[in-house]
Structure 1
Amino acid sequence: MEIMEIIREAMIFPSVDLAKLAIYIVLSIITGFLTTIGVVFLGVGMASNAAWIVVGIILLILGLIVAFIIMGYQIGIIKTGIDHAETAPEFVWKANMITGVKYFVVNIVYLIIPAIVFLIVGWATNFFGMAYTIVSRMMLTSMSSPANATIVVSDVVPQSMILSFATSLMITGAISFIFFIIFWIIQTMAESRLAKTDDLKEALNIPEAFRDIGRIGYGKVLAVVILIFVIIAVINAVISGLDGYIHGIRIVSIIVTPYLVFFAARATGLLYSDIA
């Protein structure tokens, strides 16, 4: 499929089966509710009654289970794109949860390497050391100063250190950002491999996932990924912008966010269908 065909078809897809979208929305709300209440109960338990901690943990576990179901269903949507299925997949709770766990593992693995790069570059440029020194000096100065005193970084940290820290921050940030973007794109191929094979080993085959980009076409993959990102960013920006003029407009995110998840997953599957 051509790039704009993928985007156009993916944008329409969530509205084809509104019942499935509605179920996904409800599950998303349940996940958020269980997680939020679980955290609250943990906080209450730590402050007063340990019994509430148990309740909080149970709620968080239930929230995690529902989250896995949601994640597994997203992989199912990717598969509909690969297979060019016309409607969203059925919810198969156990299978969705198992696939969701696999998807979670994929997310972790593809985050590890960029995270390691961030730590190595940050250590090599002394980013962490200087950050610790600056924060420590700011805190010590704040503790020894009057309550209404204004603390300025340049008053407690030498100019040379500020410049070195800024340089370190730019180098660490730039290199880490590049690696995160690269592995994010490779991860889209890994998700598609998981959707196609339901095999975690295939999804974690990073060299093959990278080669899949070349098989589809570097330009095409990059264009589709960028368009997905831009569309989601623009829609969210519009909602945020309208929030200042229309009170409570953010509530539409409950519907819009799942719609965009369906859109992104479908587009990913359609993209991968070129080589499936």
Structure 2
Amino acid sequence: MEIMDIIKEAFLFPSQNLEKLAIYIVITFVVGILIGGGVILTAFGAYAGEFIYVILSVILIILGIIVSFIISGYQLGILKSGIDQVPEAPSFDWKNDMINGVKMLIVSIVYFIIPMIITLIIALITNIPGQFIDLFEQAAVAPANVTAATNATAPIVSGVSDAAIAALGTSIAITAIIAAVLFIIFAFLHTMGESRLANTGSLGEALNIPEAFKDITRIGVGKVVAVIILMIVVVSVISGILGYIYGQVPQLSILSVIVTPYLTFFAQRATGLLYSDIA
């Protein structure tokens, strides 16, 4: 499927499945109420000193998390519909969607914990912790300057050196650049991992990172990058326009309840259509 055809078909997809979109919107609204209510009850319980409110808040938050798993699992179903190139959005299957939602969480953890660990290792190699300690030690000496300045016989002790600041800045910059590259690469791999999960239903296949990498090459690196960038551009432009409108008319921010799920349908469908080339 051609790149622009993927974007066009995916963008129209939610409007062609308004009933499923409406159900999805209601469920996401319920999640917001459950988790938001839980947070409010936690704060109220802490203020009132009533333990019962804490218990109720925990129950609401747990329910919210469970329903959020259903939402995540349903998103996988939308991705699957794109892979199969069927015009209809999938029906809600609460049990199966919840299981898939848990699988989605596991996939995300595995794919993003790797660049996180590598980033921490790079931070140690560039000695960021040691340089921070050195900076704090130099800063701790600075108050002695006040005493030294009032005592003609006391030596003036220098504060934080420019060299120490420059060294720390360089280390942070190197680590940040490497981290950004790693997270971008693994974000693409994560997309393939989710697609593999949707296509096969197997968590093992989804976590097969070497095969996920091969999937990118099978589809074509240029095509994968182009489709994902176009998805980001579409979402960013619409979000930017609506953000401006919300700033002018705050009451219209309620539209985000509809727009955000619409864009979620779009992104998942586009990803599925992209992966359908090799499914």
Length-normalised TM-score, structure 2: 0.88
Residue deviations 1:186-241, cap 9 Å, x none?
A: 11111111111111111111111111001111110111111111211221122222
1:188 is aligned to 2:185:
no
| Equivalences for residues 48-87 of structure 1 within 5 A | 48-87=49-88
Deviation at 1:17, TM superposition (A): 1.0
Deviation at 1:140, TM superposition (A): 11
Length-normalised TM-score, structure 1: 0.89
Looking at structure 2, the residues matched to 46 and 134 of structure 1 have their Cα atoms a distance apart, in angstroms, of: 39
CA shift in 2, pair 1:157/1:231, >3 Å:
farther
SS in 2 for 1:244: helix
Looking at structure 1, the residues matched to 136 and 115 of structure 2 have their Cα atoms a distance apart, in angstroms, of: 25
Structure 2 residue aligned with 1:239: 242
Instruction: Answer with 1 or 2: which has the greater Rg.
Output: 2
Looking at structure 2, the residues matched to 55 and 132 of structure 1 have their Cα atoms a distance apart, in angstroms, of: 44
Looking at structure 1, the residues matched to 188 and 56 of structure 2 have their Cα atoms a distance apart, in angstroms, of: 39
- The amino acid that maps onto 2:12 is I
2:141–2:159 Cα contact (<8 Å) kept: no
| Equivalences for residues 23-172 of structure 1 within 5 A | 23-47=23-47, 48-131=49-132, 157-172=160-175
Structure 2 residue aligned with 1:273: 276
Deviation at 1:44, TM superposition (A): 3.4
In structure 2, the gaps of 5 or more residues are 143-157
SS in 2 for 1:274: coil
SS in 1 for 2:278: coil
Looking at structure 1, the residues matched to 121 and 98 of structure 2 have their Cα atoms a distance apart, in angstroms, of: 35
CA shift in 2, pair 1:35/1:156, >3 Å:
farther
Structure 2 residue aligned with 1:6: 6
CA shift in 2, pair 1:249/1:123, >3 Å:
farther
Structure 1 residue aligned with 2:148: none
- More displaced, 117-126 or 177-186? 117-126
Instruction: Figure out how many residues of one structure are paired with residues of the other and give that number.
Output: 264
- The amino acid that maps onto 1:31 is V
- More displaced, 218-227 or 42-51? 42-51
In structure 1, the gaps of 5 or more residues are 142-154
Structure 2 residue aligned with 1:145: none
Looking at structure 2, the residues matched to 254 and 135 of structure 1 have their Cα atoms a distance apart, in angstroms, of: 46
Deviation at 1:133, TM superposition (A): 6.6
Looking at structure 2, the residues matched to 12 and 260 of structure 1 have their Cα atoms a distance apart, in angstroms, of: 10
Looking at structure 2, the residues matched to 251 and 187 of structure 1 have their Cα atoms a distance apart, in angstroms, of: 31
